[in-house]
Structure 1
């Protein structure tokens, strides 16, 4: 509780008006005393952060509204260096999560620039997911730990998106990954989750703009709202297992086909891409197995049809 003083003369004036017929007489200055009124701290306005800034707990890194994009890029670079991450990887991941929006809230309840769900934020010691400086540092720290647990950046990204237990089940062969997570890993790293799981470990160039310093490239792309992402590197011919308007539905149907195919598709990489083939009015999401030639694609599709599965062959 805080205390505030108020001249008693004001109270005298109010009292005088309630006494009929009594004329108001001025109160000598030397008779004015002060009384202490208790003002709850909860009613006091909170101090605004200087320059509308949000800072890391130690105050070493701050992000201000007037220099937001530049400060975010500098914080990403510093956080990546602190935790031994590629700055391009961290920037791509945060852009994919929130478009660098510190106030972002997902339909699933993920919060802030790094999209921490409240339970994960609490577990990681993040007090305010909407503080971008604190959240970026917490995100980099978490990704470092995920890389240590799962062995590489691709699986770390998968765990950041789908959860650690889901990736553990995926690696143990007890579960697949959601289509959203597959697209997430491919867009950030340029490689499918299967590449990161099966090895050898990919070594992609994650620079935002090869040949340019990170800060320059990050600021240019953030202010232009154009952060680069990788698209699936499709092989020339596609053996299409499923085509749907929704990517997750296409992935689900493809996973079911893989399960029924047994050894025919064992170890095959399934790519999902939004495409419009000749004769189609609109694009759809197609889950496919790639081949380098028409003859190879036809041969695989024939074997799948022989096993009672549907497929079509198209040129990418």
Structure 2
């Protein structure tokens, strides 16, 4: 919750506390403690129905995201099935573009999913039926491309200790390329680390990226899964990953 909801709760509790202390004493007030409690509960129920408290859950989610929730759900389930981790994909778009469909990075990444031109061309050729139009600035195309690219990596990253580790590898690959993930895993084994585990193992090695690129890549799964994903889970967007790990 944020300050509007917290302020309302604090003031309400203080007011009820004062009435409770005075309860049973001779009074000139019009309302008793119990009357006031019923009044407060009725107001709270009306505020809940009006979204006052649910807005606290959505705090931090860009307003632009709401218009794409249904379309993301449709695309995610079309590719991943009914158990698609929609909150994870939403968090990933949050990280990539903050839900700005016209976003363009200084290096040329485009749209909600921030596909580079070469990657956009490649995935359009891999999935010509669904992505052949190659429209990175089209939100629906971008969301379908994002969930499809994640699945492409998921199918090629095997031998992981858990699904949570596998998802971290998938996100690392989305950000920096599958080749780097494979090289990192190979290097981890030479250092006595477990190449099947991302967190605390492969996560700690660098097979040759620049220091800046390595830090950015390692922060990518962290921010998506641990920072942004909980916002979307709490706001009712659906399932996330690593919930039980």
Q: 2:77 aligns with which of 78, 81, 88?
A: 81
Answer yes or no: is 1:123 the counterpart of 2:114: no
The structure where strand makes up a greater share of residues is 1
Name the TM-score, length of structure 2 as normaliser. Answer: 0.50
- Corresponding residue for residue 135 of structure 1: 142
Deviations 1:12-56 (A, max 9, x none): xxxxxxxxxxxxxxxxxxxxxxxxxxxxxxxxxxxxxxxxxxxxx
Answer yes or no: is 1:175 the counterpart of 2:207: yes
TM-superposed deviation, 1:83: 2.1
The structure where helix makes up a greater share of residues is 2
Name the TM-score, length of structure 1 as normaliser. Answer: 0.40
Within 5 Å, give how 1:95-114 maps onto structure 2.
Answer: 95-114=94-113
Deviations 1:82-113 (A, max 9, x none): 22230011000111000011111111211111
Q: Which runs of 5+ in 2 are unaligned?
A: 1-62, 125-130, 159-165, 188-205, 239-245
Deviations 1:149-202 (A, max 9, x none): 1142111110111111111111111716610011111111239xxxxxxxxxxx
Asked if the contact 1:207–1:214 (Cα under 8 Å) also holds between the matched residues in 2, the reply is no
Asked if the contact 2:91–2:232 (Cα under 8 Å) also holds between the matched residues in 1, the reply is no
Structure having the higher Rg: 1
Higher relative contact order (CA 8 A, sep 6+): 2
TM-superposed deviation, 1:69: 3.8
RMSD value over aligned CA atoms? 2.7
Superposition misfits of 4+ residues, deviation over 6 angstroms: none
Asked if the contact 1:86–1:206 (Cα under 8 Å) also holds between the matched residues in 2, the reply is no
Deviations 1:53-77 (A, max 9, x none): xxxxxxxxxxxxxx96433111211
Answer yes or no: is 1:162 the counterpart of 2:176: yes
